[in-house]
Structure 1
Amino acid sequence: MVSVPFSFIGPEEILRKKKEYMIPCVYHFYQQPMQLVRGEMQYLYDHTGKKYLDCFAGVSVVNCGHCNPEITAAICQQVNTLQHTCTIYLTEQIVSLAEKLAQVTPGRLRKSFFCASGTEANEGAALLASLYTGHSEFISLRQGLHGRTKLTMGLTGLRLWRTDPSPAGGISFAPNAYCYRCPFKLKHPECDYQCANELENVIQTATSGQVAAFFAETIQGNGGIITPPYGYFKRVKEILDRHGILLVIDEVQTGFGRTGAMFAIEHYGVEPDIMTMAKALGNGTPVGAFIARSEIADKYTRPGASTLGGNPVTSAAALATLAVIEKENLPARAKHLGKKLKDGLLRLQEKYPVIGDVRGLGLMLGAELVHADQSPAPELTDQVLESCKDRGILIGKNGLERNVLAFQPPLVISEEDINYLLNTLDLALGKQ
């Protein structure tokens, strides 16, 4: 146990104030939640001093670890020098970050717009796609999640996150590459990517033909770590190119080393027309961005700004984050440790039939929990999460039925941490 030098109000008082002063849409994990008060790389500590191995990274955010000293130092130096000006004045940090993103993103992606969240990044990408194509319709994937604004909620294919009772129109949905529960009852590779081929039918029958862009997360995080087979995006891009539709790839959860590459779309050998990012870009500071090829970006000429997007502090944090990712070669680390974790999850699958499927890339992995008839088991998922929490492990959950254990830890975890996670999960599953 770690000594706690401060007094804290505790979980019960936080829950009381939360109920009284916060909009109730903001919910929390666990039947018996703890108050988190400190973070150190891959670890979190609660108000009692109890230590937890964080295997969710603030939902795929702190890829470089909580309170990473190098990133924290860069933030403190900048916040003590120049905290904010907005883009109406010239500062060096924002253009340095834009230059760096042009270097690390795939293909010909070159010009960026900075904002404060993934939602804003996707909203901006949709606007840019419409400006470039002159079209106003969109297609996205079932079980995708792209944000909480009216348009991005309309692009979202998960009922849990579609709160708007009158979502934006002009949006059609294509089947996702959910191989474990294939909507066509087919098996890969004999399926010939039928889920991708269906995009052609959606364009022909569900749209007016005036589609600006197709939105897709490379791996669907909240959708259940849905991981397409490797030829999927090439087939999708072929169809989109025939119809003059842009490909917008949402790397909000998958970006910055998480999957064993800097960006997950690199695994698929496809160049996006526009790409969105947030979360791990600033390792916990609120920054998002969308980046596009120059000929697309240059269509956005009328005045546009984000008051807080790319301000000196968030830009300094993002630059320091990218420096740590490169110096520590975190994509390679995620690839190596991800294989170790996936192999361990597959062994647990052999031992516990409740694990219906294991999927993902690098350190973005999901284990879908099911009943004997393969139906989703969300109650069991909650029990496993609670049991692991009590043993000092924090795991995420997602999926259409919230029955998928999500493993998205900081990329700085160790092999010992992976072993501890697997042993703890073994104990938790053994109790069920």
Structure 2
Amino acid sequence: MMSKSPLVQTARLVRHGFQKRSASTLHSKASPAVLPEIQSEMPDCDYQPPQYTGLSYEKVLEIRQKHITPNIVPHFKKPLLIHSGHMQWLFDHEGRRYLDMFGGIVTVSVGHCHPKVNLALEQQINTLWHTTNIYMHPKLHEYAERLTAKFPGDLKTVCFVNSGSEANDLAMLIARMHTGNQDIITFRNAYHGMSPYTMGLTALSTWRFPLPGVSNGIQHVMNPDPYMGIWGGAACRDSPIQTDRKCECSQETGCLAGARYYEQLEEVFKYSLPRGRVAAMFAESIQGVGGTVQYPKGYIKKAAELVRANGGLFIADEVQTGFGRTGEHFWGFEGHDFIPDIVTMAKGIGNGFPLAAVVTTPKIAAALGQALHFNTYGGNPMASAVGISVLDVIEEEQLQKNSLEVGTYFLQSLAGLRDRFEMIGDVRGKGLMIGIELVSERATKTPLSAPHVSEIWETCKDMGVLFGRGGLNGNVLRIKPPMCITKSDVKFAVDTLASAMSEVLNRNQ
């Protein structure tokens, strides 16, 4: 597991963007005294965070241990106490600056505390906080019109909720009510939420509790993964960067891997569904929590045709891929060249404000008229005002275009790292939805051990870059930053990762 051209390691302190502090005060006791040299400087930031005056770090830890449920697990050995945010930057309680490459788990779409979004919220909270939907208020209606205008075809009816799990819950209900069928198909390795209802859709064992009835009516089918799956090759993904597997696909044959995975899906219809009937199939346009997994070209479109031919609806989960993040399109499903029947969305829709939605056709939405259905906070005035301002910023600042240009540069830069470091098994994604799969042996694709992944991840944090992690084995670095990042930010992040990997290799020789 050696780098082909390891960086020269020169121990020095990294400033973390500090202002008016001596080098000796830069790092906590839990951080290493010296860090590997980075080949580029952290980009400048003219924002000065306010001085932290809250609870002490030790008091926060004490409260967490005594009063916070154990499922709320912070990242890193010494958890960060984040105090302030500005665009692509986060600041901890001691003033250290970090480049945020995870965006609050793919949630901060236009930038932390974006001034236009802040202003929209401030104006709304000074006007009207809440009425719920027993009365009409203008912002919900304005937002509904603006949001549905972003969709193709007859996807023109929206129901607002508060989270991705709620949105997928509601989509399941609508599909079953509309079709009269009960079975729902999802992929193994998929994540669609953690409510008792959506936990059945989620097919990652680390996210499933041993509850009875969770998977009733849910079929988990083979995940069509061109890198880790049975089939796939170097021409199968819709990505600037392909796997290093050999590929027999051609323009004449189409994607052979996609065809084979499709045959496996057909087998489920033949043998596992009552009379082949189905209520719906769920799919993320690119799998998020599962490790930025992309499907073979053409697979999703063909799967949707099969689902509809057997009485079902196709539901596109855009919780992580929506709002321009994939670059070429506003919605991830557009990259698969089809129009789904229902679309769910959350996270980036509100830039961190609790907001989510389900969009479908008027005909399908009519199923909700069979009984009363109510969401107290869904589409409240504050959330609607924020949602409108997020759409404005994406358009005005051309963040979809930025995702394409900066994201492609990011992917190509990471592909260069893959050529240098054997521990990088795969680089994949589109726009600013990127994954790096770390392996202990490239030929076998054996996941890099958790301690070594953590070493890299923690070292990057200590040098000022925050990455996410995902995949069943936690060996995929997830890169989903605010869509306002620049090429200078990318260069710093890539150089930081290279330094961290070189350092870990040197430590473990």
Q: Same fold (TM over 0.5)?
A: yes
CA-CA distance at 1:407 after TM superposition: 0.6
Query: Residue 116 of structure 1 aligns with which residue?
Result: 162
What amino acid sits opposite 1:317 in the alignment?
V
Residue 400 (str. 1) matches residue 472 (str. 2): yes
Q: Which moved more, 1:369-378 or 1:46-55?
A: 369-378
CA-CA distance at 1:165 after TM superposition: 2.6
Query: Residue 272 of structure 2 aligns with which residue?
Result: 206
Judged with a 3 Å threshold, the aligned counterparts in structure 2 of structure 1 residues 327 and 197 are, in CA distance, closer, same or farther, namely farther
User: For residues 271-291 of structure 1, what are the alpha-carbon distances to aligned partners after superposition, in whole Å with 9 as ceiling and x for unaligned?
Assistant: 010000000111111011101
Residue 190 (str. 1) matches residue 236 (str. 2): no
User: For residues 226-276 of structure 1, what are the alpha-carbon distances to aligned partners after superposition, in whole Å with 9 as ceiling and x for unaligned?
Assistant: 011331211212211221211001000111111112111111111010000
Mapped contact 1:369–1:380 kept (Cα < 8 A): no
CA distance in 2, matches of 1:88, 1:47: 42
User: For residues 110-169 of structure 1, what are the alpha-carbon distances to aligned partners after superposition, in whole Å with 9 as ceiling and x for unaligned?
Assistant: 101111100000000000001110111111111111111111001101111112432241
Query: Residue 219 of structure 1 aligns with which residue?
Result: 286
User: For residues 183-226 of structure 1, what are the alpha-carbon distances to aligned partners after superposition, in whole Å with 9 as ceiling and x for unaligned?
Assistant: 35775633243223321111221221342100111111000100
CA distance in 1, matches of 2:145, 2:194: 29
Mapped contact 1:118–1:278 kept (Cα < 8 A): yes
Residue 349 (str. 1) matches residue 418 (str. 2): yes
User: For residues 320-359 of structure 1, what are the alpha-carbon distances to aligned partners after superposition, in whole Å with 9 as ceiling and x for unaligned?
Assistant: 0011111111111100001100001000000001000011
How many residues matched?
432
CA-CA distance at 1:13 after TM superposition: 2.7
CA-CA distance at 1:383 after TM superposition: 1.3
Structure richer in helix, relative to its length: 1
CA-CA distance at 1:25 after TM superposition: 0.9
What amino acid sits opposite 2:492 in the alignment?
Y
Residue 76 (str. 1) matches residue 122 (str. 2): yes
Mapped contact 2:224–2:258 kept (Cα < 8 A): no
Judged with a 3 Å threshold, the aligned counterparts in structure 2 of structure 1 residues 381 and 236 are, in CA distance, closer, same or farther, namely same
Residue 317 (str. 1) matches residue 386 (str. 2): yes
Q: 1:268 aligns with which of 336, 351, 354?
A: 336
CA-CA distance at 1:48 after TM superposition: 0.5
Query: Residue 241 of structure 1 aligns with which residue?
Result: 308
Mapped contact 2:228–2:445 kept (Cα < 8 A): no
Query: Residue 416 of structure 1 aligns with which residue?
Result: 488
What amino acid sits opposite 1:318 in the alignment?
G
Query: Residue 252 of structure 2 aligns with which residue?
Result: none
Mapped contact 1:11–1:33 kept (Cα < 8 A): no
Query: Residue 297 of structure 2 aligns with which residue?
Result: 230
Q: How does 1:18-417 map to 2 (within 5 A)?
A: 18-166=64-212, 167-184=214-231, 189-208=255-274, 209-260=276-327, 261-301=329-369, 302-372=371-441, 373-377=444-448, 378-417=450-489
Mapped contact 1:275–1:291 kept (Cα < 8 A): yes
Mapped contact 2:232–2:257 kept (Cα < 8 A): no
Identity among equivalent pairs (%):
37
What amino acid sits opposite 2:306 in the alignment?
I
What amino acid sits opposite 1:182 in the alignment?
G
CA distance in 1, matches of 2:503, 2:314: 45
TM-score of the two chains, using structure 1 as the length reference: 0.97
CA distance in 2, matches of 1:230, 1:96: 36
Query: Residue 430 of structure 1 aligns with which residue?
Result: 502
CA-CA distance at 1:57 after TM superposition: 0.3
Structure 2 unaligned regions, length at least 5: 1-17, 20-48, 234-246, 250-254, 505-509
Mapped contact 1:220–1:226 kept (Cα < 8 A): yes
What amino acid sits opposite 1:176 in the alignment?
N
SS of residue matched to 1:160? helix
What amino acid sits opposite 1:282 in the alignment?
G
CA distance in 2, matches of 1:384, 1:93: 45
CA distance in 1, matches of 2:490, 2:56: 30
CA distance in 2, matches of 1:4, 1:66: 15
CA distance in 1, matches of 2:312, 2:263: 15
SS of residue matched to 1:307? coil
CA-CA distance at 1:106 after TM superposition: 3.2
Structure 1 unaligned regions, length at least 5: none
CA distance in 1, matches of 2:320, 2:455: 25
CA distance in 1, matches of 2:365, 2:471: 34
Q: Which moved more, 1:282-291 or 1:158-167?
A: 158-167
Q: Which has the larger radius of gyration?
A: 2
User: For residues 281-316 of structure 1, what are the alpha-carbon distances to aligned partners after superposition, in whole Å with 9 as ceiling and x for unaligned?
Assistant: 111110111010111112211221110111000000
TM-score of the two chains, using structure 2 as the length reference: 0.83
CA RMSD of aligned residues (A): 1.4
